Amino acid sequence: MVEMCSKSFLVDAGEGTQINMQRIAVKQARMDNIFISHLHGDHCFGLIGLISTLGMLGRTRSLTIHAHADLEKLLRPMLDYFCKGMAYEVNFHHIDPYKKEVIYDDRTMTVTSLPLKHRVPCCGFLFAEKQRPPHIIPQMFERYNIPLAMIPAIKDGEDYLTADGQLIPNQRLTRPSSAPISYAYCSDTAYSERLVEWVRGVDCLYHEATYMQEHLAHAKKNMHSTAFEAATIAKKAGVGQLLIGHYSSRIKDEQQLLAEAKQVFENTRLTYEGMVVEM
Amino acid sequence: MVEMCSKSFLVDAGEGTQINMQRIAVKQARMDNIFISHLHGDHCFGLIGLISTLGMLGRTRSLTIHAHADLEKLLRPMLDYFCKGMAYEVNFHHIDPYKKEVIYDDRTMTVTSLPLKHRVPCCGFLFAEKQRPPHIIPQMFERYNIPLAMIPAIKDGEDYLTADGQLIPNQRLTRPSSAPISYAYCSDTAYSERLVEWVRGVDCLYHEATYMQEHLAHAKKNMHSTAFEAATIAKKAGVGQLLIGHYSSRIKDEQQLLAEAKQVFENTRLTYEGMVVEM
């Protein structure tokens, strides 16, 4: 679940998602978009239950599912059967899994698909806030008697010319709003060098780390990554922090994964179910 | 989950079933049959995940799902997509939801469908052990020098004629095996008088009790039962014990349901997730 710009986005929906969402008390009313990275069961079997429960809870706002086109083919007959007469619409937006492109765009933020390397077509997602306009400084408006009608223009970067011909530069009238935040989610994927450019400088990168480097053969065969590889992407891309997850059952102690990643990229954290990360 | 005659049977599979099964450590290897009462999500959304996980765990024995024919239509495309190349077969046995009939039969037990009254076609299930043959008494075999080859005939009820013409009645050579056990599962259903005959004398009856008698109008509208109604069936049918479950979210304290049922049928118990009942 990603919360950004007062909106909630669900990313992947394995079995039990609706139960976990209740547990962490997600405000489902603000969730209008779901992104599915790929069509393996652990990433989408929870959709039908979630959609059906939202219907029973009385949802009326439409919901958009961004996913590979096959998902609609598979899910539509289930929806028609199990969710007949529901008071809200479920729309599907088909993602081209081989194309990096903006798949969601509103006034405040975008979501971009990031083609990954997995056994089936698979996409990561980059959530990026847009730069917000600067804040105006009320005291300066008073001092120079600037009409409030000028606010939009000044937020847009204009300077102000006073009645007596004095030019007040924009920098004296505004202060910059906080830097936009970005988060990239990359699961499931083999090591993919092109990710480095795509996630460069994000505040937070989630990258799967299914295996240790000692299981490299398995990682390659199953098209997953090692903790070392995840950390390498993080380091090369200069991200703020790295979150790792999607541990194999081979891993008896996730601390070993953490240690392996930290040798390459210090600011790494393990993720676990129900974890909340603030940015 | 029903365990009978060293076999396991799953009855209904809501979302998260595979997780609950792991939690209570069900021996999935002995589970070759799944019974689905009706096609509402809380009774079948967990199937796809369970089937898929069994495949990943290396199952090779085929699995039979007994359910309304629509389930195959809905699930087959999912299986073809998500469970390609799995090492075991999933077979569907279509239940006629309007017919009480034996839908499973082996050497030791049967399962019979019990048409219920719900908003969609719905069946309960009666699990019944067959009467096992009597135990032979070894001491009597020694005393009368009875050849071991006679065991099947004597278990079948024959008397024994000794070499000197003495007739030993079967009752002296055998002692009866324990009485067969039976369990009926009835969820979801409105009050249905014909159930009384169908579950007469079962050792254990699970009957849904969604509401209190004070919610009778809701119960009728949604085609569910009250605790009073569940207990009435149990009393009229003279069952050994009654288990109730499937509580509405209107019910703040299930003890009230229990009290209502006990006024009619004393040997009633509340059920909860993960509960184990021995018979």
**pLDDT surpassing 80 at residue A24:** no
- CATH code assigned at B61: 3.60.15.10
Task: Give the CA distances from residue B83 to residues A222, B14, B274, B278, in Å, rounded to whole numbers and listed in that order.
Answer: 16, 19, 28, 35
A122 and A256 housed in the same domain: yes
Q: What is the pLDDT of residue B276?
A: 87
- A277 in a domain, yes or no? no
- B254 in a domain, yes or no? yes
Q: What is the pLDDT of residue B24?
A: 65
Residues 22-61 of A with CB under 8 A from B: 39-41, 45-46, 48-49, 52
Q: Tens of pLDDT along A143-180?
A: 999 999 999 999 999 999 998 999 999 999 999 999 99
Mean pLDDT within A123-141? 95
Q: How far is CA B105 from the centre of its chain?
A: 13
Question: End of a domain among B145, B175, B205?
Answer: B175
Chain B hits for A39, CB-CB cut-off 8 Å, are 81-82
Q: What is the pLDDT of residue B274?
A: 82
Q: What is the pLDDT of residue B26?
A: 65
Q: Does A76 touch chain B (CB under 8 A)?
A: no
B53 and B78 housed in the same domain: yes
A105 and A186 housed in the same domain: yes
Q: Is the distance from CB of A260 to CB of A231 less than 8 angstroms? A: yes
Q: What is the pLDDT of residue A182?
A: 97
Q: What is the pLDDT of residue B253?
A: 95
Q: Does B19 touch chain A (CB under 8 A)?
A: yes
ipTM score: 0.85
Q: What is the pLDDT of residue A22?
A: 78
Chain B hits for A54, CB-CB cut-off 8 Å, are none
**pLDDT below 70 — which residues of chain B?**
24-27
Question: End of a domain among A145, A175, A205?
Answer: A175
Q: What is the pLDDT of residue B155?
A: 93
- B66 in a domain, yes or no? yes
Q: Does A16 touch chain B (CB under 8 A)?
A: yes
CA B112-B115-B120 angle, to 5 degrees, is 135
B169 and B202 housed in the same domain: no
A148 and A242 housed in the same domain: no
In this prediction, residue A25 has a pLDDT band, given cuts at 50, 70 and 90, of low
B3 and B87 housed in the same domain: yes
Burial class of residue A274 (count of CB atoms within 10 Å of its CB; 0-12, 13-18, 19+) = exposed
A77 and A89 housed in the same domain: yes
Question: End of a domain among B69, B96, B123?
Answer: B96
Q: What is the pLDDT of residue A235?
A: 98
Mean pLDDT within A211-223? 96
> CA-to-CA distance for A12 and A39, rounded, in angstroms?
9
Q: Tens of pLDDT along A59-88?
A: 999 999 999 999 999 999 999 999 999 999
Amino acid at A130: K
Angle between helices A69-82 and A47-56 (to 10 degrees): 40
Q: What is the pLDDT of residue A23?
A: 72
B151 and B209 housed in the same domain: no
B163 and B75 housed in the same domain: no
User: Tokens representing B167?
Assistant: 């007739």
Q: What is the pLDDT of residue A26?
A: 65
> CA-to-CA distance for B258 and B231, rounded, in angstroms?
10
User: Tokens representing B249?
Assistant: 């979210």
Concerning whether B12 is annotated as a catalytic residue, the answer is no
A103 and A211 housed in the same domain: yes
Comparing alpha-carbon positions, the chain B residue that sits nearest to A53 is B41
Q: What is the pLDDT of residue B184?
A: 98
Q: Is the distance from CB of B120 to CB of B38 less than 8 angstroms? A: yes
- B109 in a domain, yes or no? no
Chain A hits for B23, CB-CB cut-off 8 Å, are none
Long-range pairs of B193-198 with CB within 8 A, sequence gap ≥ 24: B195/B114, B195/B116, B195/B124, B195/B233, B195/B237, B196/B233, B196/B236, B196/B237, B197/B237, B198/B100, B198/B112, B198/B114, B198/B126
- A276 in a domain, yes or no? no
> CA-to-CA distance for B213 and B32, rounded, in angstroms?
39
- B124 in a domain, yes or no? no
Residue A20's contacts (CB-CB under 8 Å, 6 or more residues apart) are A273, A274
- A275 in a domain, yes or no? no
Q: Which domain does B45 fall in, by range? A: 1-96
Catalytic residue among A32, A42, A156, A188: A42
Interface touch B49/A45, C-beta < 8 Å:
yes
A4 and A83 housed in the same domain: yes
User: Tokens representing B178?
Assistant: 């324990």
Domain count, chain B: 3
- B112 in a domain, yes or no? no
Q: Is the distance from CB of B242 to CB of B269 less than 8 angstroms? A: yes
In this prediction, residue A212 has a pLDDT band, given cuts at 50, 70 and 90, of very high
pTM: 0.88
When mean pLDDT is compared across A30-34, A118-122, B275-279, the lowest value belongs to B275-279
B87 and B2 housed in the same domain: yes
Residues 77-106 of A with CB under 8 A from B: 77-78, 81-82
Q: What is the pLDDT of residue A21?
A: 81
**pLDDT surpassing 90 at residue A275:** no
> CA-to-CA distance for A103 and A67, rounded, in angstroms?
10
